[in-house]
Amino acid sequence: MKRLLLATLAVCLLVGAMALSGGQNAPVAPNGLVVDSAERNPWTHLRLNNSPDTFHFAVVSDRTGGHRARVFSQAVEQINLMQPSFVLSVGDLIEGYTKDRTKLAEEWKEFQTYTHKLQMPFFYVSGNHDTANEIQTKEYDSRFGKRYYHFLYRDVLILVLCSDDPYEGKEGPRVSKEQIEWAEKTLKENQNVRWTFVALHKPMWVFKNVDTGGWLDMEKLLAGRNYTVFAGHVHRYQKFVRQGMNYYQLATTGGGSKMRGVEYGEFDHIVWVTMNKDGPVLANILLDGIYSESMKQPISAEEGQPIYNRKPTYPARGTVLMDGAPVAGARVTLHLVEQEGKKFTSAADAIAAGDGTFTLSTYRANDGATTGEFAVTVVLREPYFEPSGKLGPNRLPEKYADPKKTDLRVKITNEPNELTLRLQQ
């Protein structure tokens, strides 16, 4: 309140001084602004948005899992246009999933040629593609020293966690006891910061082992402070709210994606974070909206990751009806029936439009489905995720949510496929 009164007094003194001066030798305001002010002025106010507490940083998301050519490298050039203070990642930076040290060295060398072009610091976060086995973990540690760490900037704490500690296990993501103890010590030493940002790869709160993976212990340490969490891994954008704080599961910055757009949460983006005195302000900036003054996108030599042995897809679209009425917003998923009905592998999927129509996608947007016999699940969750991360309530009969129970079956052929899914109560 005292600061506000002083700022108001300063502006009043400035306007008064300018009026007395008649526009000659206009004084400089405390914020550096020089302007000739009169009784009426073509501006709203003179409180510039340039507080010393304000700064900007960018967050990039997954680059791998079948990365696409000339996306991440383009993002680097675009971030240089934006000029943030620093860049934070959420992991999955190389394709990985290999024990070949030569191949790992080549992948890291390629990735670092891009980050070295950034004009500001880049902070690494380890993902499952980066530390998928013991050899990869040792390689990561030898290059970057540690998989969890923190730093401070302008009274803001950035806490970087490792969600596969030490590396990926079958039971799901986890943080070790040692990491939790380190986080407890770090947070105690930085109790009075104005905000805390947490970056990790996997959104641990949506996994089945959330009760045993250590995330709830981490949340207990974070409880009571102002904080924001960034994660990736799923390649689909989603916002959650836990403990009254915002958690963001980011889409991609070049990683494998069907790229069906905002409705599906599938797009390439950076998150632009403005930290001000009241807290962070976030803007999702899609890469196809950032241009230089030449209005030309940068073109790089970054090659994509070829994915082999993909089965051909064929056009497949249809309509989903419930007791004869279209089901807008229904999520339709085809599950390949294998091992004589004992195994079901999810394949193509879609979200129904307002009239119940849908177009299936398997590898990329609207490419259809592969041939075969499929069990079909249809759900209508509103919301699809509750703010906490749990699946929302399903408005359709539950039998249609389980590939083992649903009586919906379709056969996809190598010709255009028109499907009608008729659901009943």
> In the predicted model, what is the mean pLDDT of residues 300-319?
94
What was the pLDDT predicted at 169? 62
**Is pLDDT above 60 for 182?**
yes
Contact 230, 212 (CB under 8 A): no
What was the pLDDT predicted at 172? 87
Write the Ramachandran bin of 238: left for phi over 0, alpha for psi from -120 to 50, otherwise beta.
Answer: beta
What was the pLDDT predicted at 2? 44
What was the pLDDT predicted at 166? 76
* Predicted confidence band of residue 29 (pLDDT cuts 50, 70, 90): low
For the chain, give the secondary structure using H, E and C: CHHHHHHHHHHHHHHHHHHHHCCCCCCECCCCCECCCCCCCCCCCCCCCCCCCCEEEEEECECCCCCCCCCHHHHHHHHHHHCCCCEEECCCCCCCCCCCHHHHHHHHHHHHHHHCCCCCCEECCCCCCCCCCHHHHHHHHHHHCCCCEEEEECCEEEEECCCECCCCCCCCCECCHHHHHHHHHHHHHCCCCCEEEEECCCCHHHCCCCCCCCHHHHHHHHCCCCEEEEECCCCCCEEEEECCEEEEECCECCCCCCCCEHHHCECEEEEEEEEECCEEEEEEEEHHHCCCCCCCCCCCCCCCCCCCCCCCCECEEEEEEECCEECCCCEEEEEEEECCCCEEEEEEEEECCCCCEEECECCCCCCCECCEEEEEEEECECCCECCCCCECCECCCHHHHCCCCCCCEEEECCCCEEEEEEECC
What was the pLDDT predicted at 34? 93
Q: State whether residue 192 is helix, strand or coil.
A: coil
* Predicted confidence band of residue 298 (pLDDT cuts 50, 70, 90): confident
What was the pLDDT predicted at 28? 67
Q: What is the pLDDT of residues 269-286, one digit of tens each?
A: 999 999 999 999 999 999
What was the pLDDT predicted at 323? 95
How far apart CA 180 and CA 169 sit, in angstroms, is 18
What was the pLDDT predicted at 50? 86
What was the pLDDT predicted at 32? 84
- Domains, in order of start, for the chain: 1-42 (no CATH), 55-287 (3.60.21.10), 316-423 (2.60.40.1120)
How far apart CA 163 and CA 19 sit, in angstroms, is 60
Decide which of 15 and 159 is more confident: 159
Angle, helices 134-144/101-115, rounded to nearest 10 degrees: 40
Main-chain phi, psi angles of 112, to 5 degrees: -75, -20
Q: What is the pLDDT of residues 66-87, one digit of tens each?
A: 999 999 999 999 999 999 999 9
**Is pLDDT above 50 for 24?**
no
Q: State whether residue 141 is helix, strand or coil.
A: helix
Concatenated DSSP letters for 98-128?
Answer: ---HHHHHHHHHHHHHHHTT-SS-EE----T
What was the pLDDT predicted at 4? 47
How far apart CA 93 and CA 80 sit, in angstroms, is 19
What was the pLDDT predicted at 170? 67
Contact 67, 254 (CB under 8 A): yes
Q: Is 407 exposed, middle or buried (0-12, 13-18, 19+ CB in 10 A)?
A: exposed
What was the pLDDT predicted at 14? 45
**Is pLDDT above 50 for 305?**
yes
**Is pLDDT above 90 for 308?**
no
Q: What is the pLDDT of residues 251-267, one digit of tens each?
A: 999 999 999 999 999 99
Handedness of CA 82, 86, 92, 98 (dihedral sign): positive
Q: Return the bridge partners of 375, or none.
A: 335, 409
Main-chain phi, psi angles of 89, to 5 degrees: -110, 175
* Predicted confidence band of residue 19 (pLDDT cuts 50, 70, 90): very low
Q: What is the pLDDT of residues 110-124, one digit of tens each?
A: 999 999 999 999 999
User: pTM value?
Assistant: 0.90
